[in-house]
Structure 1
Amino acid sequence: MSTKTDDPISRKVSFIHISDTHLGENKDFILYNQNTYQKTTNLIKAINSFSAPVDFVIHTGDVVNEPTKASYELVKDIFSSLNHPILYVTGNHDYPEHISWLNSSNQSGFDLVPLTAGSYHFNYGHYKVLSLDCKGSPQIDPHGDFGYLQEKDLVWFLRRFDDDPKIIFTHFPPVSLDVPWIDREMLLFNGERFHDTLLKYGNNVLGVFIGHIHHRLVLNKDGILYTSAPSPICQFNISPLDQKVAFDCNVPASFNYITLVNNNILIKEITTESP
């Protein structure tokens, strides 16, 4: 008989969720009047000084601002100082092939199984994990697209691991966030179909982790948990009255700390004392 200690269901899995670092080609790149290299450095220092157990870090996209080789080389360099394994998801500012290169070159030790485009899945403990690449065409940017290939991968993943606890990483919010400008300009095209697919096939989906909106947010829709991570560069406004984008760059380094145990999920906001 298994004890509680060696029961995989009762074993804690903890990871850190970050997003939208928008690194440039060099250390002097400025976005929203902020040095993205310095802001990301501050975030990495905050993560490294965090003393709780961390199994891995997930970055849910917009790793760079322009998808050039020099930008991704800088990503590889700066995150080499991170004390934990890191995995990346494709954002609308990223190229899938560059994200695949980062994931294959960071020696994280994960057995990533590629799907179509830049999507992949892997196991961690008894949890099944999907990273779904929903980057759309330039014509619909900054929206993402839940198209035929994405739906095919999602349905396969949900049906293949039907009874297993599952988590999903993607960049774009699939459903309305009750923020007028975000709902108009930033959502995943066919996102309601994404949500309906989870309802139809998504037995035991513990959460969907997103980026793109540069702000921390938690939403439960029809029993599906959606949560986003803040950007270290700036935070977009998310008031239900906001008709156009505004942002606050006077923000401290912060991240989400996620704990999975007994097929339950706990999300904590970890924030440094000053910007």
Structure 2
Amino acid sequence: MFIAHISDFHVFADAPETSLVRPDAEAAARKVVADIVAANPPFDAVCFTGDLVDGGSEADYALLKDILAPIKVPIFLVPGNHDRRDTLRAAFRERLDFAAGTTLHYEAAIGHVRILALDTLVEGQIAGALDAGQLAWLEERLAKVTQGPTLLLMHHPAFPSGIRGLDDMALIEGREALGRLVKAYPGTLRILTGHIHRPFHAIWNGAYCAVGGSPAFQHQLDLDPTAPEPGSVAEPYAYFIHRLDAAGTLTVHTRYLAL
């Protein structure tokens, strides 16, 4: 099974909210989608970890749906801090079985892989959070034994990148409680996130974790703990290809695109 992990398109119909977003974000996103569609072997699914658009308007999501239309396999997505719950739900309610209530969490499956999607959005804030209800929802599902791995999708990473200025605006509330849950299920979870605009991997509480890059802009790598939030850097966009075989082996490849 082949699964693509993409993130942070930040596309916009009129004007971007974020100053760093490239003016041709739509064209960059279409190049990424074209690359995914042309993949051989073909992908079985695409996981999209938030900041789908840059403003959250109906027009933004109409544009996003047009950009993603060539992808015929299942797409699983979660909101980021630039998304809006009401317009996102309306745009994708026919493709995703969102749980009842305010937050956009859901459970799905592709083959033997379970998908658990967590909504870390705090409206009007850059940093993310998980409340007690969301954590209880996750714990209930993790307690159910499955034959295959579980992909946990969320926008804000709970694990550190080492880039201080970005980690300070990642998942803040609920981080410790999530860590305890993850640690209780070693070897079964793969956590896919976005938000940092810099692709990297981590092992956190025994789980493999990944942050996808962003075709809208990518942050500079600065691991100096005293440095402020880094600026952007011109480099190829990177998304991840997850290969899962029948024996349960996970192989992750990095796909680079010059945009």
Alignment partner, residue 209 of structure 1: 192
Out of 38, 41, 49, the residue aligned to residue 30 of structure 2 is 41
| Shift of residue 101, structure 1, vs aligned partner | 3.1
CA deviations 1:57-116 (Å, max 9, x no partner) are 11100001111111111111121133543222111111233333343335xxx7x46265
Quote how far apart the aligned CAs of 1:34 are: 3.1
Query: Does the alignment pair 1:133 with 2:133?
Result: no
Match of 1:198 in 2: 182
Is contact 1:206–1:265 with CA below 8 Å preserved after alignment?
Answer: no
Q: Note the C-alpha offset of 1:36.
A: 1.1
Q: Answer whether contact 2:199 2:238 (CA < 8 A) is retained.
A: no
Matches within 5 A, 1:109-128: 112=97, 114=99, 116=101, 117-128=103-114
1:191-226 alpha-carbon deviations (Å, 9 max, x no partner): 1221111113x2542310000011111001232111
Question: Is the CA contact (8 Å cut-off) linking 1:166 and 1:204 kept in structure 2?
Answer: no
Corresponding residue of 1:104: 93
Superposed CA deviations along residues 29-72 of structure 1, whole A, max 9, x for unmatched, are 58524321111112112222322230011110000111111111
Aligned to 2:12: 24
Matched, 1:145 2:129: yes
Counterpart Cα distance in 1 of 2:11 and 2:5: 17
CA distance in 2, matches of 1:162, 1:198: 16
Q: 4+ runs of 1 displaced by more than 6 Å?
A: none
Structure 2, gaps ≥5 residues long: none
Report what 1:225 is aligned to.
208
Q: Secondary structure at the residue paired with 1:208?
A: strand
Q: Give the TM-score normalised by the residue count of structure 1.
A: 0.83
Counterpart check, 1:264 vs 2:231: no
Tell me the SS of whatever aligns to 2:168. Answer: helix
Question: How many pairs does the alignment contain?
Answer: 254
* 2:43 corresponds to: 54
- Find the counterpart in structure 2 of residue 3 from structure 1: none
Q: 2:57 aligns with which of 48, 63, 68?
A: 68
Post-superposition shift, 1:143? 0.8
Cα displacement (A) at 1:133: 0.7
- RMSD of equivalent CA atoms: 2.3
The one-letter code matched in structure 2 to 1:74 is L
1:126-180 CA distance string (max 9 Å, x none): 2221011111242xx2111111121111111111236653121110111222221
> Quick one: distance in 2 between partners of 1:181 and 1:17?
24
Which residue matches 1:9? none
State how 1:151-190 maps to structure 2 within 5 Å. 151-161=135-145, 164-190=148-174
Query: CA offset at residue 20 of structure 1?
Result: 0.4
Counterparts of 1:76 and 1:203, CA distance in 2? 36
Once residues 111 and 39 of structure 2 are traced to their aligned partners in structure 1, the CA distance between those partners, rounded to angstroms, is: 23
**In the alignment, is the contact (CA less than 8 A) between 1:123 and 1:129 conserved in 2?**
yes
Deviates more, 1:257-266 or 1:15-24: 257-266
